[in-house]
């Protein structure tokens, strides 16, 4: 089957979107690629389709067990043999999956980065024909990114252990220069084709508000948008519990998600949200990676996140169906202090040598500053975000609170 037939037959789509086709063609021509596309753009297809066309096996490196399960689940449903190898399998299941893999049953295998250099897995990989290694959420390799995973640093070593070098493809939604350079270097991409597609999400409306009564503002917003699905991001678990509790008390169909809940509650709440049994999700930033819910109409931030990367990623979970959606950040000066404390007490930095830790801290504070400027600027919010990611905005998008305000002022002046 050619790529169009695979797209239609297995995934049910008539045409490619954005840079998908370019990336697929580059991979099929044997070139390493780095694809930088915003959340929801459809990065998975860019490696899944070539995986089905290349002889041999594609290994997909993914940072989260839940992401692997979701993706393997949908592939299996589409009639594609795929499996995952990670710590959620018992040793018995793991061995069985690996033996099926040895028999060549799976064209696509998702694997946790920590597994790559284990003797069992290496033995399999050296004796199999690995035609591609696809690295999803590739920014996890960078210490400057927000989701650094030490296991990602082993990917390049693993690839060097293989008898024949496969094509290496990497995908991320993080577009800053530091992270991009890290990916190219640390994953050891060879003569890579780097494709970055527009980060603008024209259907998203952006606003920053500074209400005295934050809960009141959130409640008012949700009342006005009743029947719609939305996410309320909070800075702390405690805040999640409070806001969710209040919403439920006030009669809203809300649920919650944070790392302090049991696996079971997290899974249940997430499903309630996805299937619209509880269309309002109150969560910390632990919620969302890999969540694919298309009808999220608003993302409210009950407090300012620590940087623009986080904010745009979280806000970007709204409007994935391309229909209008709103992203509103409720800001208070206290958020700066809270975030500074997070940065000062970041325990990840304990593993770093003091000099690097200091560097990371400095960068985090710098990013916090840029996030704070976003909350205070009178200029086009979209333009601010796009410029942060190194793109050129238009200075006036017409679809953010600041542009609309300017428009109103202009009209008033004209009328006068
Ligand atoms: P990303 O990893 O870039 O955030 P995903 O790969 O999870 O995005 O895809 C997001 C959604 O877009 C999925 O529901 C996927 O099925 C859908 N999608 C991907 N490619 C296409 C396409 N060519 N046409 C229509 N929908 C698509
Ligand atoms: Mg993805």
Helix (H) or strand (E) holding 205: strand 204-209
Confidence band (pLDDT; 50, 70, 90) for 15? very high
For residues 292 and 41, is the Cβ–Cβ distance under 8 A? no
Mean pLDDT within 154-167: 97
Predicted confidence at residue 356, as pLDDT, reads 78
Residue nearest to atom 18 of ligand 1 (CA): 42
Predicted confidence at residue 143, as pLDDT, reads 83
Ligand nearest to the CA of 40: 1
CB atoms within 10 A of CB 12: 8
Q: 404: closest CA among 385, 378, 386? A: 378
Q: Does position 416 have pLDDT exceeding 60, yes or no?
A: no
Digit-coded pLDDT (tens) for 239-290 = 999 999 999 999 999 999 999 999 999 999 999 999 999 999 999 999 987 6
- Cα-to-centroid distance, 101 and ligand 2 (Å): 24
Mean pLDDT within 102-118: 96
- Cα-to-centroid distance, 60 and ligand 2 (Å): 11
Q: Which atom of ligand 1 is nearest to the CA of 15?
A: 23
Confidence band (pLDDT; 50, 70, 90) for 26? very high
For residues 254 and 281, is the Cβ–Cβ distance under 8 A? yes
11, two tokens: 């995934």
- Cα-to-centroid distance, 11 and ligand 2 (Å): 15
- What is the arrangement of strands in the sheet containing 193-196, beginning at the earlier edge strand? 82-85, 108-111, 57-61, 130-135, 167-172, 33-36, 193-196
ipTM above 0.85, yes or no: yes
For residues 161 and 155, is the Cβ–Cβ distance under 8 A? no
CB atoms within 10 A of CB 153: 16
Pick from 14, 23, 44 the residue to mutate for probing ligand 1's pocket: most ligand atoms within 8 Å of its CB.
44
Digit-coded pLDDT (tens) for 78-104 = 999 999 999 999 999 999 999 999 999
Predicted confidence at residue 383, as pLDDT, reads 94
Predicted confidence at residue 244, as pLDDT, reads 98
Percent of the chain with pLDDT over 90: 78
Lowest mean pLDDT among 61-75, 90-104, 332-346, 351-365: 351-365
Residues having CB within 6 Å of any atom of ligand 1: 13, 16-17, 20, 37, 39-45, 292
Predicted confidence at residue 304, as pLDDT, reads 97
- Cα-to-centroid distance, 76 and ligand 1 (Å): 17
* Cα separation, 39 vs 327, whole angstroms: 15
Predicted confidence at residue 221, as pLDDT, reads 98
Predicted confidence at residue 392, as pLDDT, reads 72
Lowest mean pLDDT among 46-55, 246-255, 314-323: 314-323
Q: Does position 320 have pLDDT exceeding 60, yes or no?
A: yes
Confidence band (pLDDT; 50, 70, 90) for 378? very high
Question: What is the residue-averaged pLDDT of the chain?
Answer: 92
Q: Does position 415 have pLDDT exceeding 70, yes or no?
A: no
Q: 62: closest CA among 188, 147, 185? A: 147
Predicted confidence at residue 40, as pLDDT, reads 78
Digit-coded pLDDT (tens) for 329-338 = 999 999 999 9
> What contacts 99, CB < 8 A, 6 or more positions away?
none
Lowest mean pLDDT among 99-113, 328-342, 380-394: 380-394
Ligand nearest to the CA of 74: 1
Going through 288-359 in order, the beta strands assigned E by DSSP cover 296-302, 325-330
> What contacts 219, CB < 8 A, 6 or more positions away?
246, 247, 250, 252
Pick from 19, 35, 45 the residue to mutate for probing ligand 1's pocket: most ligand atoms within 8 Å of its CB.
45
Q: Which atom of ligand 1 is nearest to the CA of 37?
A: 3
Helix (H, G, I), strand (E, B) or coil at 60: strand
Residue nearest to atom 5 of ligand 1 (CA): 42
Lowest mean pLDDT among 80-84, 266-270, 292-296, 377-381: 292-296
Strand partners for 300 = 232, 328
Q: What is the pTM assigned to this prediction? A: 0.73
CA angle (110, 274, 335) in 5-degree steps: 95
Predicted confidence at residue 360, as pLDDT, reads 82
Confidence band (pLDDT; 50, 70, 90) for 410? low
Pick from 22, 42, 75, 318 the residue to mutate for probing ligand 1's pocket: most ligand atoms within 8 Å of its CB.
42
């Amino acid at each position: 089957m050619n790529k169009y037939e695979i797209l239609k037959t297995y995934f049910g789509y008539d045409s490619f979107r954005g840079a998908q086709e370019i990336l697929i063609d580059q991979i099929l021509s044997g070139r390493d690629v780095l694809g930088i596309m915003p959340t929801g753009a459809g990065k998975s297809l860019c490696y899944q389709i070539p995986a089905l066309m290349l002889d041999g096996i594609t290994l997909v490196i993914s940072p989260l067990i839940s992401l692997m399960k979701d993706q393997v689940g949908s592939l299996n449903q589409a009639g594609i043999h795929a499996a995952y190898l990670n710590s959620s399998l018992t040793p018995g299941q793991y061995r069985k999956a690996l033996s099926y893999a040895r028999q060549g049953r799976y064209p696509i295998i998702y694997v946790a980065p920590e597994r790559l250099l284990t003797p069992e897995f290496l033995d399999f990989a050296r004796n199999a024909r690995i035609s591609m290694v696809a690295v999803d959420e590739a920014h996890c390799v960078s210490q400057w990114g927000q989701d650094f995973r030490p296991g990602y640093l082993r990917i390049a070593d693993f690839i060097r252990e293989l008898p024949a070098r496969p094509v290496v493809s990497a995908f991320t939604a993080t577009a800053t220069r530091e992270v991009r350079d890290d990916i190219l270097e640390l994953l050891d991409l060879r003569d890579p084709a780097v494709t970055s597609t527009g980060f603008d999400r024209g259907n998203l409306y952006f606003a920053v508000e500074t209400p005295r009564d934050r809960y009141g503002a959130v409640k008012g917003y949700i009342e006005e948008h009743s029947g719609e699905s939305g996410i309320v991001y909070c800075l702390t678990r405690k805040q999640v519990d409070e806001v969710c509790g209040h919403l439920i008390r006030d009669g809203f169909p809300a649920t919650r998600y944070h790392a302090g809940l049991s696996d079971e509650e997290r899974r249940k709440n997430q499903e309630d949200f996805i299937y619209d049994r509880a269309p309002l999700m109150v969560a910390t930033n632990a919620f969302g990676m890999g969540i694919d819910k298309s009808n999220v109409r608003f993302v409210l931030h009950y407090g300012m996140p620590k940087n623009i990367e986080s904010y745009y990623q979280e806000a970007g979970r709204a409007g994935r169906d391309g229909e209008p959606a709103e992203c509103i950040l409720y800001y208070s000066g206290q958020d700066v202090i809270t975030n500074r404390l997070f940065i000062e007490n970041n325990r990840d930095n304990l593993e770093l040598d003091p000099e690097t830790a200091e560097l990371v801290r400095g960068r985090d504070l710098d990013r916090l500053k840029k996030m704070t400027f976003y909350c205070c600027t009178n200029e086009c919010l979209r333009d601010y975000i796009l410029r942060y990611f190194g793109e050129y905005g238009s200075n006036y998008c017409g679809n953010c609170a600041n542009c609309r305000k300017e428009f109103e002022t202009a009209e008033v002046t004209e009328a006068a």
